[in-house]
Amino acid sequence: MTYVFRAGGEEGPGRGRDNRARCDGGRGCYHFCSTERATFVNDNPQLARAREFLQNLQDSLCAALERADGRATFTEDAWQRSEGGGGRSRVLKRGAVFEQAGVGFSEVSGAALPPSASAHRPAIAGRAWSAVGVSLIAHPENPYVPTTHMNVRYFEARAENAEPVWWFGGGFDLTPFYPFDDDARHWHRIAHDLCAPFGDEVYPRYKQWCDEYFFLKHRNETRGVGGLFYDDLDAGGFERCFSLTQAVGNGFLDAYLPIVERRKPTPYGEREREFQLYRRGRYVEFNLVYDRGTLFGLQSGGRTESILMSLPPRVRFEYSYQPEAGSAEARLADYLKPRDWV
C-alpha cells in the first residue's frame, strides 16, 4: 500500500474534511488521494520498518473499531509539520458504541530533542531526532464500557561523529467507571501472554511501570486498572524490541474488544452517565498535568488538535464530589490502586 499526503488547499490539512478515499477493498482500506508523496528526513531501514508497521497498525485498528461500533466511520485529517514530518489523525464521532475514538499516526523530526524526551537521557539532549508512533484512545458512550488508551512508538536521536541512539516505547491501559473483575483479569491475561515470549520478567515489570506511570499524585489514585507501559526500550537489540512492540500493538484488540462486546448491551441511565462524565475529568487531569506524550507533542511544535485528540468529548467537574457509601460508584475506589490480576 502506498501512502501520500494530500496537498493543501480547500481540502488540505486541518480543514476538518475527510481526507481519505476508500478503494474497492471496502471498510478499513485507507489511501491518501494525492500524488504528492510524504518526504522524511531520515529514511534508514529501522525507521522505515517501524513506519510501515505503524501505518498498517493504524489501518487495522480503525477497521476493527468501525466493525465494533457498527454505525460510525473514521474521518481523517492529513497534516504536515513545518520543522519536519507530518501525520494522519483519524476520529470517529457519535457512534453506536463509541462517543468518540481517535487513532493517530505521526512521524516527526527536529533539530534538538524536546526536554520531555531527553529528561531521562541527558547525554542525548540537543540531538537531532525522529519519532514515529501510533496512539489510540476510545471513549465509549455506555458507562459500563471502559475507556482505553494504546500507544506504540519508535525514537531515534542523532549527532555528528556519534552512533545513533534509538529506543521503543508503548503500552496500553484500561479505565473502567463500573469495573468488573472478569474484565480486568482478561485484560491482564492478554497483556501477560503477549509479553511471555520475551521473558518471565517482562509482564511484571511493565505492569508495575504502568501502575506507577498512570498515577494521579494529587488524587492518590491510579487512572484505572493498568496494563502495560514501557519506554527507553533498547535491551536485546532492535529485532527483539521491535517484535515486542509489534506484539503490544497487535495484541491490543484481543485485550479490548471482548470487553466491549460483553458490556455494550448493559442498560444505563442518567446516574451512570453523570458519574462517567465526572470520572472523565480525571482523564483530563492526567493528560494535561502528567502525560509525557502530551508534553512532548506540545514542546515539539506538534499539531494541537491531534495532540489533544485523546481528551473526552464531554466531561464534567463537580466540587468535592463524594459517591454515596456502598454504591456502585463508590466501589470504583477499590480498583484505583495497584492489584495483581494474573
Q: What is the DSSP string of 279-329?
A: HHHHHHHHHHHT-HHHHHHHHTT--HHHHGGGS-SS----TT--PPTTSHH
Instruction: Look at residues 4, 25, 55 and name the one whose alpha carbon lies nearest to residue 249.
Output: 55
Residue 149 designated active-site? yes
> What is the residue whose three cell numbers read 501472554?
193
Bridge partners, residue 30, by sequence = 22
- Report the run of H or E that residue 53 belongs to, with start and end: helix 45-69
Q: Are strands 75-80 and 85-93 parallel, antiparallel or unpaired?
A: antiparallel
The one catalytic residue in 149, 186, 188, 192 is 149
Residue 16 to residue 28: CA distance in whole angstroms: 20
Backbone angles phi, psi at 27, to 5 degrees: -55, 135
Q: 277-316 burial, b if ≥16 CB within 10 A, otherwise e?
A: bbbbebbeebbeebbebbbbbeebebbeebbebbbbeebe
Enter the DSSP assignment of 177: S
Question: Phi/psi class of residue 227: alpha, beta or left (left: φ > 0; alpha: ψ in -120 to 50)?
Answer: left
> What is the residue whose three cell numbers read 474484565?
183
Other Cβ atoms within 10 Å of 145 Cβ, number: 28
Residue 174 to residue 188: CA distance in whole angstroms: 10
Residue 54 to residue 296: CA distance in whole angstroms: 19
Q: 109-126 burial, b if ≥16 CB within 10 A, otherwise e?
A: bbeebbebbbeeeeebee
Active site residues: 149
